[in-house]
């Protein structure tokens, strides 16, 4: 059996029996999820369902109480250098962008490659400019994050994640903090990424994105994965009561 066979079998990201509490609150209940290489998984659900926590647990920004999370067959180390090394392979895009406020747009994209990967500065800059070009903000390269619109900042954040050549990118509600007119420009970049075969885990309320770009929709409620299906099946024929309720509420208007 070749390496890629094992990978398809075990998945690029595998969560087994993952549990997490915030004090009394049981936010992740026995989560089992496997994400294959090149797959785009959209996680949806009502707020407080644990979907953001799930996303953040995958690169251990949120430590878990029990269970296993494997990345490319490797268990997530608990702290230190090994964890940092593993995180370098997992891109993350946050709801509130979190661009480094004291660095220029270009520096935001080159910082990881330079400091973590020790890439040659010339090469890091060249690659960063290509990525900024790709997300359409190359002309803002010398500005600071605060001088850009939310949509532009979020596209820079995607470029920053891509600069590390990640195996998978996690999107934690990437469009929830954006003004409506800017959502589309960010989604377009994401759809583009999905088409190019990037492995993505996307927590979002954008059902349009789920329909067009997702290979699989994971519906969460109260810390559990309630339903998993292809977008087509999920949106036209949800099996669980909670998913039907949820879709009924958001798809009416």
User: Residue 45, class by beta-carbon neighbours within 10 Å (0-12 exposed, 13-18 middle, 19+ buried)?
Assistant: buried
Q: How far is CA 73 from CA 11, 14, 130, 237, in A?
A: 8, 8, 31, 34
Cβ-based nearer residue to other proteins, 144 or 235: 144
CA distance 67 to 33: 12
Tell me the CA distances in angstroms from 153 to 42, 150, 160, 198, 245, one per residue in order. Answer: 22, 5, 10, 21, 34
Nearer to other proteins, 109 or 207 (CB): 109
- What distance, in Å, lies between the first and last C-alpha atoms of the chain? 50
Beta carbon nearer to other proteins, 61 or 129: 61
Nearer to other proteins, 106 or 157 (CB): 157
Q: How far is the CB of 30 from other proteins (least distance, A)?
A: 26
C-alpha 223, offset from chain centre: 18
Smallest separation, CB 108 to other proteins (Å): 9
Residue with smaller CB distance to other proteins, 97 or 246: 97
C-alpha separations of 232 from 54, 197, 235, 238, 244 in Å: 23, 20, 6, 9, 14
Residue 115 C-beta: closest distance to other proteins, Å: 6
Q: How far apart are CA 181 and CA 18, in angstroms?
A: 37
Strand partners, 13: 35, 71
Residues interacting with other proteins, by CB under 8 A?
59, 61, 79-81, 84-92, 94, 96, 98-102, 111-112, 115-116, 144, 146-147, 157, 160, 164
Q: Which is nearer to other proteins, 161 or 189 (CB)?
A: 161
Distance CA 207, CA 243 (A): 13
Which residue lies nearer to other proteins by CB, 118 or 252? 118
């Amino acid at each position: 059996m070749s390496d890629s066979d094992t990978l398809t079998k075990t998945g690029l990201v595998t969560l087994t029996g993952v549990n997490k509490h915030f004090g009394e609150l049981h936010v992740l209940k026995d989560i089992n999820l496997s994400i294959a290489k090149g797959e785009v998984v959209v996680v949806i659900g009502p707020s407080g369902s644990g979907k953001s926590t799930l996303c953040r647990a995958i690169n251990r920004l949120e430590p878990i109480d029990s269970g296993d999370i494997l990345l490319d067959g490797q268990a997530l180390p608990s702290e230190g250098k090994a964890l940092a090394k593993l995180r370098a392979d997992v891109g993350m895009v946050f709801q509130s962008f979190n661009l480094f406020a004291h660095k220029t747009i270009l520096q935001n994209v080159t910082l990881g490659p330079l400091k973590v990967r020790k890439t040659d500065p010339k090469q890091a800059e060249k690659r960063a400019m290509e990525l900024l070009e790709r997300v359409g903000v190359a002309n803002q390269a010398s500005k600071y994050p605060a001088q850009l619109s939310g949509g532009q900042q979020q596209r820079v954040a995607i470029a920053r994640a891509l600069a590390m050549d990640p195996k998978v990118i996690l999107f934690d509600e990437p469009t929830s903090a954006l003004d409506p007119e800017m959502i589309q420009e960010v989604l377009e970049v994401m759809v583009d990424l999905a088409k190019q075969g990037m492995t993505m885990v996307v927590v979002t309320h954008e059902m349009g994105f789920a329909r067009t770009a997702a290979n699989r929709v994971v519906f969460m409620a109260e810390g559990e994965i309630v339903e998993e299906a292809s977008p087509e099946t999920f949106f036209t024929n949800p099996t669980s009561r909670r998913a039907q309720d949820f879709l009924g509420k958001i798809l009416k208007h």
